[in-house]
């Protein structure tokens, strides 16, 4: 489903979204394909979209009143980052990484083992970083 961004008449297509309760549709979309009340938005980060997903798109997503959690899933390594809205409005960043990591979606009360998220995925070799002493 398409999601309307809060502060403008702009839209985005997240890789996945979760709506709890009844979907509320954008009044400007007579076809009812655009929601305005996602609870969770999930983006799979690719080399071509990662900067935008972590930058401008993130900034606009965080303005959506109903949004409780933004999840970024890496393509290059077993790594999931979640931004969770705290009761006072601040956002908490949590990172799960490695094959034994567990991504906790606090807004849904769900724990997702990275071994299941990345089951069958083969990652490219990571370049070795130079050791600087």
Q: For 14-40, what is each residue's pLDDT tens digit?
A: 999 999 999 999 998 899 999 999 999
Q: Which residue has the tokens 């600087």?
A: 132
Let me know: does 61 contact 49? Beta carbons within 8 Å. Answer: no
CATH 3.90.1570.10 fits 2-117, yes or no: yes
Domain ranges of the chain: 2-117
Segments in the chain forming alpha helices (H): 50-54, 56-61, 114-117
Place of tokens 């394909």: 33
pLDDT at 7 over 90: no
Stretch 58-87: mean pLDDT: 94
Q: In angstroms, rounded to a whole number, what is the distance separating the alpha carbons of residues 44 and 6?
A: 21
pLDDT of residue 133: 72
pTM of the model: 0.88
């Amino acid at each position: 489903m398409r999601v309307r961004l809060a502060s403008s008449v702009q839209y985005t297509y997240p890789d996945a979204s979760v709506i709890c309760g009844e979907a509320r549709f954008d009044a400007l979309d007579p076809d009812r394909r655009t929601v305005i009340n996602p609870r969770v938005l999930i983006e799979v980060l690719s080399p071509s979209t990662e900067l935008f997903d972590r930058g401008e798109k993130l900034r606009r997503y965080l303005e959506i009143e109903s949004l409780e959690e933004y999840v970024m899933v890496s393509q290059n390594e077993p790594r999931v980052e979640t931004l969770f809205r705290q009761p006072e409005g601040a956002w908490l960043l949590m990172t799960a990484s490695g094959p034994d990591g567990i991504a906790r979606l606090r807004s849904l009360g769900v724990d997702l083992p990275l071994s299941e998220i990345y089951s069958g995925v083969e990652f490219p070799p990571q370049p070795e970083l130079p050791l600087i002493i």
